[in-house]
Structure 1
């Protein structure tokens, strides 16, 4: 807006004292100050409002106006309440530096002027940005030359001074504006919380934008990328088909009192970002087909040579530029919904493609290294690995179940709500096509172990597939309770009455492989005291801790209990 427009608004109570030839200056903001030197808070284009508390002598006016002029402000408006009128020396200084000067009548507050300027500037800038966004949408629709989501986020930063980020449903940062990059990065815990709050709001069907206050009172507004209208979810859309894989736009601002024009602009921005999301999803088609072909060969028990040949074809696509077949790891995931016909396989496929992204991987897109197939309600990912050191079979794999679980459990639990469940199994690394079938089965076994655990998001790795872990989850609950009670209840009751610590002693004795010396040292006991406690355990339970069978029963009971 122009200074002239402010002068033409009678309700603002502005009277021009000088600088009529400069009234076409553009006003980009407003600032109220009584500091003698406000330069650190000025960026140019502001209308400065002052009550003149800084004015003590005529020389103060020259210093103050020179500072404003150097900062590139649009104009100065002085209140009359402090001194009764605007000093003559201030008018002279403004005329010398060609700075437009206004007086503000006493019965008009600076807050009223500020609100009017901010409202007008925001609306005009939003309108200009909307036109830019529309042009950029056409560019992005035409092909990759239009740029990615960072470009449109930079428009929000440069034109509306909004820090903004695009996050995945798991809280991974996909893009951020240049303005967002100038401040502290969003911590991983905050990104996970924002994603979780967004998923919870989507599942509840709440009207967007969703607002979250975090940290030191900072408010973030969350917008679904490519979502429908603000009042209701998209008509005919089953939210459980996409809730775990959609992106969200995070804006560091409270959009609760934004005008409709700005909300419409942000909706247009999300639709523009959705173009890029859809393009990335389409680019996965080849990798998905390769993974499906390999999975079908494995499940059909094809000869290892045939599987190896298919992997050699897949390697250049999955590892562009390397040209050699890597080692592989398999991850299996299942998404299950209660009371719905939504197929879990495609949902799990899109979700694995997201959570297996390695943001540190080189290449045009980290997702270029992920191939995920699905069959029924299950998704199977082939994760290529670099050559392992010395081809050691016990080398550390790239994907670990505990790390996956820690990264996605909080946000995805909100998206799954009380009617969904995600279970993940991770295999060890395999060094050849001969081991791929075993890796798929190992990952499936690990997923079944994860499924036996409580919680809406569970994962298990190949390291957990010891015999007792494979066995225990599939024992019926009533049998497990009876078995545990028969062995441990006598010890627990004795401990309750005598504080004898028999159960901790039993745990330490088994952990020390039955070594009296190591166990006594660990418990800080004399060996004779330890022998007394073990004898009491055997007496109360009728078991013999020198027998392997009885040691195993106690071990299982402690794990079950």
Structure 2
């Protein structure tokens, strides 16, 4: 419901009479404005009923441009008071108003302008109350639909309330619900507008106004995360009522989608313990395959991806990965493995490029979280993919790369595929053993300095800055490392040995998950021999 010129014309006891522009009696009146200036348009916003006596217009030829200015400004109608400056509404004004379809009301000299303003204000107040009451009823219907039928019920209730159509989409503008069903066919033409709303962010909205309807586009989501879009068509121009209904629908749909995501996140978190057991080799191949199938994975082709980050950030990284996988509909599971100051978030996912690309996007944030992508393997060899992903992530961290695929590391591929865990553990003991022994009780200062020095390719200033020490202190530590290990850090071969030993040593931490040749027949895995596990005892 809106206030129109026809309703103003019908106000009692004012004796208003329409003298031109009958076709515009349905124009909506937004406000009443009084002005005697020749050009009041700088003070108009459109939709006003302008009251004047024409006192400032002295020449008949001035009325035609006066009317055109008012019509161009979007005036709803003109109330012309007679009996003061003009005995009747001037004929040139009537002709120009008829030409532009602008309603002109003749206001008798005994009809006070304040009475017209009060009458319009009362009509607007009644209209506002009616709008709020109708919107409240619609909100109740939307809430009932949410309780009874979820997203589909809300979308259908929105379409009924606005007398048009409504479509709910995901972030990629894929249709989730549509009412009526054929409304989904409207979406392809609106896709550019939906994508623009996505680029503007979570609180954005847009509209497309056509000759017969207005289309509103609203983003859905909460806590700064976008979940999807509500696209709705309203016959004619959008009104306060339709905007209120859509605002309520946006709130309910956002809540419903957030609740659904929260449940999904919780279910994904419950996968962490089974995944840890799978990576540790603590379950049979059959049980591992059953878990993979339940997580919508093909047990014959899975991949492990590993993120490296500080231990105090790994929980957030894990949550972000779960969120990403939920939003993108990626199958799989995530688990956190703590490792001192550094920690890993291990992801079991499918072999598709889509999954790898989505996970790589998270690695590229700042500060960077290096991602290593392991081999594609059957579920019974998932430990190999986990080791490979960890090696790749370590190389990526050293070389400051966001994403590293183990398949691209030919030398490491040959080294770690050709050697048994026991052989690698022996290599670590021979190269790093004396340094590890020296660092016990010293908080690993020399090992940390060695890792940073090699990661920065021997650049003294960058290494010292990362460690927060003076260059002289760093030089003293490097000298001590060379003495303890018997290797020259000025030699490319010496640096290579130490770097490979550090990578193998870091990868040995995956023994917390992955043991050599575990017994997958249901018994316990055989006890490891050698390696860092014994060194720590």
Q: What TM-score do the two structures reach when normalised by structure 2?
A: 0.45
Q: What TM-score do the two structures reach when normalised by structure 1?
A: 0.43
Larger radius of gyration: 2
